[in-house]
């Protein structure tokens, strides 16, 4: 009798969790397709565009070829690339950067990216690109210097640290320091972290002498960015549909300032404005969006990349 009660209770808890996760993943959602203007798929970039960042001059930098956790490897073991695309052009075409020798380009699997410009107007020197890389499913952060003349990323440094264990995204603070998000605590607990209301994901600060955890309590800390004045850091939590606004202190620690909950995040009427929606027929798993002028670039975890020309 008791066995049966326990069994039924466990099944009920499991069922509740499955329904809860399904709602969180929007599995029951009906998506109405919507395009903000004329949109086209970018040729030649079919292995994802997990992160996109646009330089002030309108050059978009795109990371492609993610191989992380259980995500299907569409690229069949081939390495990923960083592409660039000039959003000032009438018909922008992607170009892949080559990587300087001495760097293991064959096991390059880029994830989140962030740039730091020493000179806002002249990118010929001191244009640094920080890239989360997952060779052999591990996590490390690469710092490159961008050589636009020779279309090349010059490798400067690989950063590995036990606090940087499952890095998803980074935001550069100086040419040698950054904040990074760990999206989960460990592979062994990953399933529980996703299924249970656990918040074990965190944000880490790194500079050449110190690595410290600066914010904790996220369900799945994902994208990270900094306000243009450098006073605030924004962290998106994809498990809880929240954007955390944190105040950056002098010593680089972060203090929670406020949390924006994006209600109905994926519907056409969320508490923020939806600019593009597709039910998966054209784009699957959109992970990044970046705008420059009338161009809007949409990236996906491991699928295609879309360029929209926004209607006036
Ligand atoms: C799912 O579970 C979490 C944590 O228990 C809860 O905060 C959330 O409201 C639940 N969502 C739904 C749709 O039931
Ligand atoms: C790194 O950050 C720590 C903590 O704020 C600071 O004490 C240290 O001086 C920094 N090191 C460098 C090389 O900037
Ligand atoms: C979210 O969507 C539901 C159902 O469409 C609606 O009742 C609710 O008011 C929406 N919430 C917000 C904050 O817009």
User: Can you give the pLDDT of all 312 residues of the chain as single tens digits?
Assistant: 778 888 888 888 888 888 777 777 666 666 677 777 788 888 877 777 788 999 999 999 999 888 888 676 666 778 999 999 999 998 889 999 999 988 999 999 999 999 999 999 899 999 999 999 999 999 999 999 999 999 999 999 999 999 999 999 999 999 999 999 999 999 888 888 888 889 999 999 999 999 999 999 999 999 999 888 889 898 989 888 888 889 999 999 999 887 777 666 656 555 555 556 666 666 666 666 777 777 877 767 666 777 777 776
CA of 271 to the centre of ligand 3 (A): 8
Atom of ligand 2 nearest to the CA of 174: 14
Sheet holding 110-117, edge to edge: 98-99, 152-159, 140-147, 127-133, 110-117
Helix (H, G, I), strand (E, B) or coil at 130: strand
How many angstroms separate the alpha carbon of residue 207 from the centre of ligand 2?
6
> Which residues are CB-contacts of 279 (< 8 A; sequence separation ≥ 6)?
30, 31, 32, 33
- Atom 8 (ligand 3): residue with closest C-alpha? 264
Q: Which residue(s) pair with 232 in the sheet?
A: 247
With b meaning 16 or more CB within 10 Å and e meaning fewer, what string describes 179-205?
bbbbbbbeeeebeebbeeeebbbbbbb
Among 172, 176, 209, say which to mutate for ligand 2: greatest number of ligand atoms within 8 Å of CB. 209
Which pLDDT score is estimated for 301?
Answer: 64
Torsion of CA 89, 227, 242, 250, to 10 degrees: 150
Q: Of the bound ligands, which one is closest to the alpha carbon of residue 174?
A: 2
Please work out whether the CB of residue 251 comes within 6 Å of at least one atom of ligand 2. yes
Q: How far apart are CA 225 and CA 311, in angstroms?
A: 27
Please work out whether the CB of residue 210 comes within 6 Å of at least one atom of ligand 2: yes
* Distance from the alpha carbon of residue 43 to the mean position of ligand 3, in angstroms: 37
CA of 32 to the centre of ligand 3 (A): 16
Cα 8 to ligand 1 centre (Å): 21
Pocket test for ligand 1, best of 20, 194, 259 (most atoms within 8 A of CB): 20
Torsion angles phi and psi, residue 122, rounded to 5: -120, 110
- End-to-end, the C-alpha distance of the chain in Å comes to 68
- pLDDT at residue 80, as a whole number: 92
Ligand 3 within 6 A of CB of 29: no
Q: Which residues are catalytic?
A: 111
How many angstroms from the chain centroid is the CA of residue 58?
20
Give the ligand 2 atom nearest the CA of 205. Answer: 2
Pairing of strands 201-206, 177-182: antiparallel
Give the pLDDT score at 197: 86
Task: Give nearest CA residue, ligand 2 atom 7.
Answer: 251
> pLDDT at position 47, please?
77
Given this model, what pLDDT does residue 98 score?
95
Query: What integer pLDDT is reported at residue 270 of this predicted model?
Result: 57
Q: What is the position in ligand 3's atom list of the atom closest to the CA of 270?
A: 14
Q: How many angstroms does the Cα of residue 20 sit away from the middle of ligand 1? A: 6
CB atoms closer than 10 angstroms to residue 140: 15
Residue 279 confidence (pLDDT): 66
Task: Give, using CA atoms, the residue closest to atom 3 of ligand 1.
Answer: 197
């Amino acid at each position: 009798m008791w066995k049966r009660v326990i069994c039924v209770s466990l099944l009920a808890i499991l069922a509740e969790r499955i329904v809860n996760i399904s709602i969180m993943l929007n599995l029951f959602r009906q998506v109405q397709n919507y395009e903000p203007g004329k949109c086209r798929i970018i040729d030649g970039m079919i292995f994802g565009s997990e992160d996109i960042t646009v330089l002030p001059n309108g050059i978009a930098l795109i990371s492609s070829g993610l191989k992380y956790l259980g995500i299907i490897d569409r690229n069949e073991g081939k390495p990923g690339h960083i592409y660039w695309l000039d959003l000032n052009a009438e018909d922008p075409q992607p170009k892949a950067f080559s990587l300087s020798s001495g760097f293991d380009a064959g096991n390059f699997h880029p994830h989140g990216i962030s740039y730091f410009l020493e000179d806002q107007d002249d990118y010929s020197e001191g244009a640094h690109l920080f890239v989360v890389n997952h060779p052999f499913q591990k996590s490390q952060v690469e710092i490159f210097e961008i050589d636009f003349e020779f279309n090349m990323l010059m490798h400067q440094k690989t950063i590995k640290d036990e606090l940087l264990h499952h890095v998803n995204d980074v935001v550069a603070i100086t040419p040698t320091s950054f904040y990074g998000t760990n999206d989960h605590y460990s592979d062994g607990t990953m399933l529980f972290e996703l299924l249970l209301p656990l918040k074990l994901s965190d944000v880490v600060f790194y500079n050449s002498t110190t690595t410290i955890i600066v914010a904790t309590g996220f369900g799945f800390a994902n994208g990270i960015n900094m306000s243009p004045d450098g006073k605030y850091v924004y962290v998106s939590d994809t498990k809880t549909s929240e954007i955390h606004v944190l105040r950056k202190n002098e010593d680089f620690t972060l203090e929670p300032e406020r949390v924006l909950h994006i209600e109905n995040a994926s519907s056409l009427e969320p508490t923020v404005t939806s600019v593009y929606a597709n039910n998966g027929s054209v784009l699957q798993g959109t992970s990044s969006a970046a705008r420059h002028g009338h161009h809007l670039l949409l990236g996906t975890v491991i699928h295609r990349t879309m360029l929209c020309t926004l209607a006036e």
